Amino acid sequence: MVTIEEADRIKDRLAEIRADFHKHPELSFHEERTSQRIAEILWELGLDEVHTGIAKTGVVGLLRGNAPGKTFALRADMDALPIQEENDVPYRSQNDGVMHACGHDVHITALLGAAMILGKMRDEIKGNVKFIFQPAEEVAGGAKMMIAEGVLEEPLKVDAIIGMHVWPDIDVGTIGVKAGPAMAAAGKFEIVVRGPGGHGAMPHLTSDPIVAAAQIINSLQTVVSRSIDPIQPMVFSVCMIEGGHAFNIIPREVRMVGTTRALDEGVKANATNRVKDILRCIGEAMGVECQLNCIDEFPALINNPELIKLIEKAGATVVGSENILNLEPTMGAEDFTYFARAVPGAMFYLGIRDEEAGFASPVHRSTFDVSPGALTIGAAVLSQAALMYLESV
């Protein structure tokens, strides 16, 4: 059994590792230093196999137990975000414009911590543990590429997989879980509006894509409010708009980019059809051409109920059953969903908030940081879940 006391024995080492990764963040598919350091640590821990270069920069370590059995996988993502860090801390990012603002440095560290703990318990392990360090979660490419390159098959076929994500909405010392639909299906859309353009002083001689774009943005707000069942969660957000280059010229083109999110992929598909109707009608009414391009980034994350029960039990061992929180679904998205669709999988949330100590920033912000106490909790829960799974099959 893995307790928080067991994990606390390596807390100083985990703090050092996390600080190192936080200082040296790397963007998606450019995690060269990150993957090198991960591989070095895994070899130092005496794992049976360490493989690099999977999906460009991914790393996989394999720990074979003392007796034959199934293979349980633990996954962490590695990439950082294009954000300039504002935190004034000793481990502040040294790479300008790049920051671990989503906690992936914590994910890496906790998974390495799990490798440290489980490596010392090899004689108690019936089966195998595969440690998967995935690149490029932020650009929706790493998980699919790793699966395509056989990470769930070689070395050894994976029978089940879990992952975790830091969660600033819940306090350090707690674990969040959600069985079934937990994270949204996410898509990116681009709308391009084109018209003849012309002189701003002679709008009657033009078809104005800026005015048309304004009408489109307003009309898109009705997609969720008037075209989707109110009990079905859905988000449709225009997050960027580009158009024009001079104060007195009506441009020929306006481009809008945004995201769609839904827990039910059928709901998202219906919303897309409604958007097409809006674009067609506004385009005809205002004499412009409207083009819609959609990219599905992630399907919805559906957590395996049995694995969530496993995580609840493992988490209760580490932090107590009173600190296991059942959360509502989130409209955020995660490409861990591809792993969870290939084999039974589930993701849990690691509490990192400590308002008194100043750790309360949401993810994807320049002020994001994590309570250091979360590192050992994450490592312990991952380790205990792996042990419990392999003991039960």
Tell me: the pLDDT tens digits for 48-85?
999 999 999 999 999 999 999 999 999 999 999 999 99
Radius of gyration of the chain (CA): 23
Residues 131, 104 share a domain: yes
Residues 174, 45 share a domain: yes
For the stretch 213-250, pLDDT in tens is: 999 999 999 999 998 989 899 998 999 999 999 999 99
Contacts of 287 (CB under 8 A, 6+ apart): 195, 207
Q: What average pLDDT does this structure show over 102-124?
A: 96
Q: Give yes or no for residue 348 having a pLDDT over 90.
A: yes
Question: Could you say which of 234, 265, 298 is where a domain stops?
Answer: 298
- The lowest-confidence range among 4-8, 107-111, 279-283 is 4-8
pLDDT tier for residue 12 given thresholds of 50, 70 and 90: very high
Alpha carbons within 13 A on the beta-carbon side of 109: 29
Predicted pLDDT at 297: 79
Predicted pLDDT at 275: 95
DSSP strands (E only) in 29-141: 49-54, 58-64, 67-77, 126-134
Q: What average pLDDT does this structure show over 95-102?
A: 97
Q: Which domain holds residue 217?
A: 185-298
- In the sheet that holds 234-243, the strands lie side by side as 234-243, 253-262, 185-194, 289-298
Predicted pLDDT at 139: 87
Question: Could you say which of 255, 281, 298 is where a domain stops?
Answer: 298
Predicted pLDDT at 352: 97
Tell me how many domains the chain contains. 2
Structural contact between residues 315 and 350, judged by C-beta atoms closer than 8 angstroms: no
On average, the pLDDT of the chain sits at 95
pLDDT tier for residue 141 given thresholds of 50, 70 and 90: confident
Residues 114, 20 share a domain: yes
Residues 384, 286 share a domain: no
Residues 54, 202 share a domain: no
**Residue with token string 């929706």:** 140
Distance of alpha carbon 35 from alpha carbon 57, whole angstroms? 6
Q: Give yes or no for residue 289 having a pLDDT over 90.
A: yes
CA–CA–CA angle 217, 220, 226 (5° rounding): 150
Looking at residue 110, which CATH number applies to its domain?
Answer: 3.40.630.10
Q: Give yes or no for residue 140 having a pLDDT over 80.
A: no
Distance of alpha carbon 91 from alpha carbon 81, whole angstroms? 16
Residues 26, 168 share a domain: yes
Predicted pLDDT at 166: 98
Residues 332, 317 share a domain: yes
Residues 132, 232 share a domain: no
Predicted pLDDT at 1: 87
- The lowest-confidence range among 148-157, 162-171, 261-270 is 261-270
Q: Give yes or no for residue 374 having a pLDDT over 80.
A: yes
Predicted pLDDT at 194: 97
Predicted pLDDT at 212: 97
Between 227 and 368, where is the model more confident?
368
Residues 73, 19 share a domain: yes
Q: Give yes or no for residue 328 having a pLDDT over 90.
A: yes
Residues 342, 220 share a domain: no
Predicted pLDDT at 379: 98
Question: Could you say which of 243, 267, 298 is where a domain stops?
Answer: 298
Looking at residue 234, which CATH number applies to its domain?
Answer: 3.30.70.360
Distance of alpha carbon 331 from alpha carbon 263, whole angstroms? 7
Q: What average pLDDT does this structure show over 383-387?
A: 97
Distance of alpha carbon 213 from alpha carbon 288, whole angstroms? 10
Predicted pLDDT at 223: 92
CA–CA–CA angle 140, 347, 124 (5° rounding): 125
Residues 309, 175 share a domain: yes
Residues 269, 336 share a domain: no
